[in-house]
Structure formats: C-alpha cells, structure tokens
Amino acid sequence: MKHHTPPTSSPLLAGIIRKIHILFIWLTRPNPQIQRPEERRQARLLLTLLTAFIVFSGVVAISLVARVALESTPLETFASQLVALLCGDILLVIAYAVARTPHYQIGALLSIVCVMVTCIVAAIGTQEPFALAFLSIGTLIGALFLTPRMTILVTIISVLITPVVKTLFLHRDWRLLSDEVIFLVGISLINLLVVTMRRADLNQIEQQSRELLDAEKRRVELIVQNERAAALRMFINNVSHDFRTPLTVINSSAYLIKHVVDQRQQQIHAIIIEEQTARLSNLIEDMIAVIRLDNPNELNLQPVDINQLAKQAAQTIVPALTSKQLALHLELADRLVPVQADRYALEIAFRELLENAAQYNRNGGSIIVQTAEAPGSIVLRITDTGIGIDEGHLPHIFDLLYRVDKARSTKTGGAGLGLPIVKKIIEAHGGTIAVESVPDQHTTFTITLPRRAAPGE
C-alpha cells in the first residue's frame, strides 16, 4: 500500500513530515510481536490512553499559555508544568515504542511511570483541578496494567505525594490535606472498579486460552497415539512375517526328516532346522535389544578393548566367510586405549555390521575391519566389497524396519532391525555412526566412540 504525503515547498519539511507519517503508521499498526490476546487488548488500550493523555496535556498547555497571555501571569508560574508536560509526552511516545518491541511489559510499565512522573511534576506548585485530572488518568492507566494491590499503592503514592511534599516542605496548612484524602478515596474506588472489571475480563480470556490449550493438547496426544498404534501394527506385521518364514521352513524340514529314509537328506534338513532356529533366536535377540536400548541407563559400562571385541565378533561370521569364500582382514591399531562401554551391547553392534558385510558381499569378496585412535575417541571401520547401497537409500537405512530390497532381505533373513539397533547402541554410548557406499563396489560403516561414554548422551 502506498502512503501519499502532502506536497510541500521545503524538502526538509517534506522529509520531516514523511518521517512523522511513517512513525505514526508504525506506532498505530498492530504489533506482530505481541501474540497473547490479553496483551494485544492491553496494547490497544495503552495506545488509546496515551493518545488521550497527549491530547489532554496539549489542551492544558494551551490553557496555561492563554492565561500567561490574557491574565499577565508570569510565565515562570507554569514553566515547570509546561516542561513536565512536554517531557512526559515525549517519554510516553518512547515508552510506547518500547512496548511495541518484544519487551512489551517493560514498555507498558515505563508508560505508567512516565504518566505518574508527569502528573506529579505538573501538580507541584498548583492547585488547579487539571492536576487532579492528570492524577486520575495516571492512576487509571496503572489500574489497567498493574495488579490490584500495586494499583492501590500507586494511587495512594501519586495522589498524596504532592500535598504531603507541600505540607511538609512548603509549609502549607495541613488541614488542606483532608480535601486530598477525600479525592484519594474517590479515585481509589474508581480504580478498584477498573481493576475488578479488568480481572473479570482477563479471567474470561484466560479461561478461553486454557480451553484452547487443552483441546490442542488432546489433539496432539491423539495424533501421537495413532502414530504409535500405526508403528506397532507395522512392527507386528513385519515381525510376524519374519517369524513365519523360518517356522515354515522348520516345519517342512521336520516333516521331511520323518519321511525320507536317505540319511544324507535327513542330515541336510537337520542343518536347515539348526540354521532357521538360529535365525529365529537372532530375531528375538534383536527385538529384545530394541526394547532394552530405549533406556540407555541400562547400559553396563566397563573398560572394553575394542580390538578384542572386534576379533570376538568376527568369530561369529566364520561360517559365512567359508560359505562365500570371503577374506577377512583385521587392521587393528596397536595398544588401543580401552573405552567405557557395554561389552554385550557393543558386541551386538559389531556383529550386526559384520553379518551385513558378509551377507551383502559377493562371493570371493573381502571384509576389512580397521581400528584407529582419534583425539578423545576410538574409530572402528568395517568395509566390504559387496553390492553397496544406492545413494537414495542411504539416508533411510538406519530407520526401523527399513530394507533396501525387501524380497532379498526376507530371503536372507533380514527384518530391517539390524542397523537401527547398531545406531541406538552407538548413540547410547555418546558415539556416532556414518555410512559411505559406492554401489557394486564397496560399503564402509564408520563408528566413532568417545573414550569415556556417558549413557544417554
């Protein structure tokens, strides 16, 4: 939207008018920083009251100047009030500008202080009724923003300070105080009324906000519950399928053992049963690990030699190495500093990575296990010369139940649990895991473990 300023002959004046115009638009536009409805309402009220105060003080200033001119009253009589009014107005604009920033509360409080100070200064040296009117406005603004107790305190101080100062220091007749006390009671009653009305208003707004918040909380809870239920359904679906495949194989092998007479055939089926039961027990172990690792405090930390653990985990893939004629190279760093870790959990992680390295390798390929020391941490790298992982799958392979090739994973017994478990284990030790792969060439998993692992880090 374009704003047109009236054309003026002087460019300086035109510039000033444009600036004032921009300032005016900025001051009167709703402040986007203020989000809460009650604060938005207060900000609108603040602007209305400050505008009223400035207009009112302008009228008073004109009347004072008129008296100086018409009644030949010396200017000094009103000079302090005029200066106070001017300063008060300027300060009020500044305070309101502060109230438009994120420091809304500070700005609002500053506005009240400005009105109070202006009122008090304007009232000193005069008994004119406008001084009382100033006080009324000042305390009214206070009543809109302060707590009831603070309002009463501010009202008492601002109404009594001038007469008390006059009585004590300017030797005014103390009996005149009674007028001010009557005024004080009146203004306090008005302010109390304002406070009570505002309270009722705020309570209603608060009640509405609370109800909205409760509804939002219930909505989020419902979404979370639905997501959990969907994840559980998916988990049960996948896992039951992964259980069913080996069970079917076991069942048919058991049937064949019973019905074939050839001893060699029986032997083959017994081996198949053995393999499938091992696959089932691995699956159960993985599921238990997923649940157990949800609580990192369950880690049993102790000094662990990563080289020794890597060698131990490598033992478990010896049958796969033989059947696929894979070469295993251990390139372990000399005298590695032990890390604080859960030996059992870390062994599961290494084993999972080594099993994958064998499983997704080509016949006659190789697996390289490297360990190294880095500042404050130990690095373990497992590289295989297998099928690799496409770039598109890399960001997902640590997701629960994610499988690159479902058909192939099912055939090889993978349920998409291995890598998420490895990641959980490593992160529970405060470490990191990264993967890097070139399809049909190689895949490298790099684990970095801090020497002093803190559970839950």
Using CB under 6 A as the criterion, which residues of the chain lie in contact with ligand ADP when the complex forms?
356-357, 360, 384, 386-389, 397, 402-405, 409, 414-419, 443
Give least dist CB 341 to ligand ADP, A. 21
Closest CB to ligand ADP among residues 313, 419: 419
Measured CA to CA in angstroms, residue 448 lies from 290, 298, 353, 375, 381 at distances of: 21, 21, 14, 11, 9
Give least dist CB 335 to ligand ADP, A. 29
d(C-alpha 235, C-alpha 240), whole Å = 8
d(C-alpha 420, C-alpha 405), whole Å = 16
**325 φ, ψ to 5°?**
50, 55
Closest CB to ligand ADP among residues 439, 456: 439
d(C-alpha 323, C-alpha 301), whole Å = 36
Closest CB to ligand ADP among residues 296, 416: 416
Give least dist CB 291 to ligand ADP, A. 16
Give least dist CB 385 to ligand ADP, A. 10
Closest CB to ligand ADP among residues 373, 405: 405
Closest CB to ligand ADP among residues 369, 419: 419
Residue 388 contacts residue 318 (beta carbons within 8 Å): no
Residue 449 contacts residue 431 (beta carbons within 8 Å): yes
Closest CB to ligand ADP among residues 139, 385: 385
Residue 31, amino acid:
N
Closest CB to ligand ADP among residues 142, 388: 388
CA dihedral 159, 163, 166, 172 (to 10 degrees): 170
Residue 80, amino acid:
S
- The residue number with the shortest CB distance to ligand ADP is 414
Show the tokens assigned to 177: 């105080």
Give least dist CB 408 to ligand ADP, A. 7
Residue 405 contacts residue 439 (beta carbons within 8 Å): no
Give least dist CB 287 to ligand ADP, A. 12
Sign of CA dihedral 284, 288, 291, 294: negative
d(C-alpha 113, C-alpha 92), whole Å = 9
Give least dist CB 437 to ligand ADP, A. 7
Q: What is the radius of gyration, based on Cα positions, of the chain?
A: 41
